Structure 1
Amino acid sequence: MSKLKIGVIISSTRPTRFGELPAKWILDKANERPEIEAELVDLRDFDLPFFDEVASNAWAPSQNANAVKWQNKISEFDGYIFVVAEYNRAITGALKNAIDQAYVNWNKKTFGAVGYGSVGGARAIENLRTIGVELQMVSTRSAVHIAGADFMSVHPGFGGTKAISEIEGSIGNSATDMLDQLVWWGEATKAARAEEAATAKAAE
């Protein structure tokens, strides 16, 4: 089977965001895996409107060109790693809006997450998993949580000076577990989608 194409999605678009640092770290970790070809996906690059279509693309083609560009991009991937900021116990509005701009493009794929914040983005990741159920996605059991003193030590806004790689003693095992599960589910869902497509084609 060919390599899994994995999109590493940064969930915040703020000028002062922290998300780029863990995103680049997990991107490198993912690309160390022989089964994965990972790519950074930045919501800033798509200038998405607030969702304003008549319905999701499960029911009607989207009309906004940027939404279609986004759908085409996420369709390239077999799975995703969401780099999750936690805003008021949930994912960011920017990420929720991006997710809502598509539906069929997410279906029957897998995802993992890297969260950060006072509790490591745990509540936001659970929020994301709930959304993933509706999108017919499979979440990894494990996630990476950058929390507490580790978070403060790597966040420049709090005076942190460490690189993410310097706290791998705390988060490295979780990253390995998450990537192991992402590969397992990614290969399983990729094979199932291919079989489904072949069956549909044979029935034409």
Structure 2
Amino acid sequence: MTKIGILLGSTRPGRNGEAVARWVYENSAQRSDAEFELVDLADYKLPLLDEIHPPATGQYAQPHTRAWAQKIASFDGFVIVTPEYNRSVPGALKNAIDFLHAEWINKAVGFVSYGSAGGTRAVEHLRLIAGELQMADVRSQVALSLFNDFENFTDFKPMAIQRDTLATTLDQVIAWTNALAPLRAH
């Protein structure tokens, strides 16, 4: 069965991302075409990149890096849930991505973002990062507005259309993940 990791890309206390990631997981868990798992970056307590060797060598010395690599390697594709901080990617998410290399290659990725502009600028940066890691980013994206999909900017209450957009995003992630399977086999 295809395994998709739903990565919660913020470690900030009081983050809106927990409710968003749970919503993504609850909706994805109703599907029968893949297996989904919610992965919270906060559970991995990754420091700023502290490996001596570049990640492309795969020579991970730190126990936290090896645990992170094992978790990411266990997935065939991803949905990244991310806020937009200062028109870009949260530092904790970028750092977590930068720890690894081969574990990302030939895997599909979709994005669920949130922020004042729907998190779209963070996703644009993530698409560039995904390209460098040979990930296939799908076109559909869930862009949640702090103005329309949250009450008082904190209580997550997505508009009904967002569920349809999420379904399309998941459809694309699963299709591309399956299409890339022969490349991952090598």
TM-score bracket relative to the smaller structure: over 0.9
More strand by share: 2
Show structure 1 runs of 5+ residues with no match: 197-204
Name the residue aligned to 1:109. Answer: 107
Tell me the amino acid that sits aligned with residue 172 of structure 2: Q
Number of the residue aligned with 1:79: 77
Which residue of structure 2 lines up, in the alignment, with residue 200 of structure 1?
Answer: none
Matched, 1:94 2:101: no
Whole-Å Cα distance in 2 between the matches of residues 125 and 140 of structure 1? 11
What is the match of residue 181 of structure 1?
172
- Aligned residue number for residue 125 of structure 2: 127
Aligned equivalents of 1:9 and 1:155: distance in 2?
A: 22
RMSD: 1.5
| 1:190 has 2:181 as partner | yes
Q: Secondary structure, in 3 states, of the residue corresponding to 1:84?
A: strand
Larger radius of gyration: 1
Taking the aligned partners of 1:13 and 1:54, their CA distance within structure 2 comes to 24
Provide runs of 4+ in structure 1 moved above 4 Å.
none
Please report how far the alpha carbon of residue 148 of structure 1 lies from its aligned counterpart in structure 2 after TM superposition: 4.7
Cα-to-partner distance string for 1:54-113 (whole Å, 9 max, x where unaligned) = 233322501111011101110000011100110111110000000001001000101101
Task: Name which structure has the greater RCO, CA cutoff 8 Å, separation 6+.
Answer: 2
**Secondary structure of residue in 1 paired with 2:15:** coil
Measure, in 1, the Cα distance between the counterparts of 2:93 and 2:36: 19
Scaled by the length of structure 2, the TM-score of the pair is 0.94
Name the residue aligned to 1:11: 9
* SS of residue matched to 1:40: strand
Structure 2: runs of 5+ lacking an equivalent = none
Write the distance in 1 (CA, Å) between the matches of 2:78 and 2:119. 17
Residue 20 of structure 2: aligned partner:
22
SS in 2 for 1:130: helix
Aligned length: 186
Normalization by structure 1: what TM-score?
0.86
